Structure 1
């Protein structure tokens, strides 16, 4: 006999929680195996129970639904999260989905719709489990930071805010690694909508990441050929630096998924000694799929209140996601800016040491671009 779908309920209101449990009790293929009033109470259940689905209600008190979804999906990636909400506006749904929710059910609750959504999400989860067990390429458990012997080293460059020199640093890092070490170096423009790596290097895109995506969509079960990937990457002469450019049109960014990035980042370390990834200043599944496979994160900050506030949020999030503290380095750009915020202030604000300080290049940087 097939085991029922294990469901955990997260809802602050007892009457609302009981109503949901009652609706599901009439389906023999679904079993409510635990209930919690807040996320902190749910996490032990995720570890102790064989949960397949978590149903979160918008009646949660004192918690933001997207944040709760995010924490659950990062702690238990095998679990599908479904959100019940009285607010069915596109923006509400978008925020929940970006956080990792797999399904959305609007109030007033319809028993049949809720059960159907649970079944649909569970079916997708089973398909993904089978695929992961077959390929053994995508991490399924808690994050384990890779320290591979012969594989290349992945460095993600993440900006606490747009316009603070993230791409300038990523490009110069890749160029310097190539020049100083003579090793094979790849530069990946993961800022798919607003990326400027090609502009910085004066590269005219002949091929982009979309060429790889097309192959992955056409042959999802085939192994991604390393030489094909290398051939898609533009060559920056005379250094021989290889660059994977983003889509030419910003609206095509949505064609690239976190799974696509995962497949690509499984191949690149076999081809290159260093892979520098220029990440967008957003938190979405694509960025997380990069950070989860990264050996080192360079967090770019500037001596300004906005970037520092965002950087503090990123560091809090990285701790929640289990990223090792020693794998994150703070890079203070424009460290010589004539402002009231000093490097010591930055360290106190972030409760993190500043590993590198870069003075402002000013007009020279603009002229070089």
Structure 2
């Protein structure tokens, strides 16, 4: 791309719902000159995607950066805001270059839309030039792209599905939504059963793989892309499963970051990752929810689900201010003889819309569960399956389901299919 075109693309960019990859473990210092950019930068540093980053935001602009690093080592990333003219900025950058460590990346935030200045900065090794005003997501996107390899394909989207209460059918929703992503939207998808002791994904997909998520979690020193490939079990052309052993031979006193390496590998391998999150509360469960790109809360139309869903939504809003709010799915609606809270009242109490209300159908769900099938395999044209397709389309940003077309096979699923053919 021509530098001028790249410059204009950044100048016109706005926050979207695209996947922004978490930053690696780096150090970052920002030197700002205006309160607005300092505030946006500070907000960005508290975002979930910068959890591993050690950041510091201060005032003073490029001049302060030059002084700060005369005798101190430079961090991995320096962000400079400037309100001065181009010649002054270039002078500060030349002075900063004298003390910059090899590998330090520099991002400049300016207030002048000047293509020639942009080109001069790129020639001097500046990684990017952004035009104020900026939102926190603009900053996050740019910082994340510094660590995405040139030419790398789009990063995968992680969707966490959790029940507001035990027994509301969150696993059933997660599995059927993953199936819809793979089958109806033609997206390579991996479903991860995080309920290591009692997970049902293997039963629901009629799979009994000898290995699965336990091997990935309890032997993290061995986990890499090749090992992950061996652990996946194929459910359909575009759908693979990382199954839970569903055994009680070990307890789940896991560290908060237990799944971090696994999720990074999955995000880099397939477009869609659906996490079937068990209904329990621990450090690692909280981290899974907060770190996901999309959160789906499955609730029943009754009071306990309402209370718990509110707690989860409040937590997500506080911990994920730069993300879309959790999606609410009402499940088992219309259970015979059960008094229920109306969907409209349920949504009003929580301050979020109900994405779908899935009707209770004992025959359809019971047949699917007992046969190790998805609802689409039992009743393809029903309203229940349409609800799952709608959820999948919303979570992936695709309004229309596509049929009959094949996407490029993703590495892990493709290898798995070749090996089992």
Report if TM-score (shorter chain) is over 0.5.
Answer: yes
Aligned match of 1:257: 255
Deviations 1:141-165 (A, max 9, x none): x999989871111111011011111
Per-residue deviation at 1:192?
2.1
Aligned match of 2:355: 355
Q: Is the 8 A contact 1:174 1:276 kept in 2?
A: yes
Correspondence 1:232-247 to 2 at 5 A: 232-236=231-235, 238-247=236-245
Aligned match of 1:333: 331
Aligned match of 2:303: 305
Q: Is the 8 A contact 2:198 2:246 kept in 1?
A: no
Is 1:154 aligned to residue 158 of structure 2?
A: yes
Per-residue deviation at 1:210?
2.1
Deviations 1:74-99 (A, max 9, x none): x99999xxxxxxxxxxxxxxxxxxxx
Correspondence 1:183-262 to 2 at 5 A: 183-216=187-220, 218=221, 224-236=223-235, 238-254=236-252, 256-262=254-260
Counterpart CA distance in 2 for 1:312 and 1:161 is 12
Q: Is the 8 A contact 1:171 1:197 kept in 2?
A: yes
Q: Is the 8 A contact 1:159 1:299 kept in 2?
A: yes
| Secondary structure at the counterpart of residue 250 of structure 2 | helix
Counterpart CA distance in 1 for 2:275 and 2:335 is 27
Q: Is the 8 A contact 1:208 1:247 kept in 2?
A: yes
Correspondence 1:1-369 to 2 at 5 A: 150-216=154-220, 218=221, 224-236=223-235, 238-254=236-252, 256-324=254-322, 326-337=324-335, 339-369=339-369
Per-residue deviation at 1:194?
2.1
Aligned match of 2:7: none
Deviations 1:295-354 (A, max 9, x none): 101111111111111111111222332355624111111234463411111012212211
Q: Is the 8 A contact 1:301 1:333 kept in 2?
A: yes
Q: Is the 8 A contact 1:151 1:270 kept in 2?
A: yes
Counterpart CA distance in 2 for 1:179 and 1:231 is 23
Per-residue deviation at 1:251?
4.7
Aligned match of 1:59: none
Counterpart CA distance in 1 for 2:364 and 2:268 is 36
Q: Quickly say closer, same or farther: Cα 1:359–1:323, change in 2 above 3 A.
A: farther
Unmatched 5+ stretches in structure 1: 1-46, 48-74, 80-141
Aligned match of 2:58: none
Counterpart CA distance in 1 for 2:368 and 2:253 is 32
Deviations 1:224-274 (A, max 9, x none): 4213202111121x4352111123313524264332301100010111111
| Secondary structure at the counterpart of residue 252 of structure 2 | helix
Q: Is the 8 A contact 2:329 2:356 kept in 1?
A: yes
| Secondary structure at the counterpart of residue 240 of structure 2 | strand
Worse-matched range after superposition: 154-163 or 189-198: 189-198
| Secondary structure at the counterpart of residue 209 of structure 2 | coil
| Secondary structure at the counterpart of residue 250 of structure 1 | coil
TM-score, normalised to structure 1, is 0.56
Q: Is the 8 A contact 1:303 1:337 kept in 2?
A: no
Q: Is the 8 A contact 1:265 1:290 kept in 2?
A: no
For the pair shown, which has the larger CA radius of gyration, 1 or 2?
2
| Secondary structure at the counterpart of residue 181 of structure 1 | coil
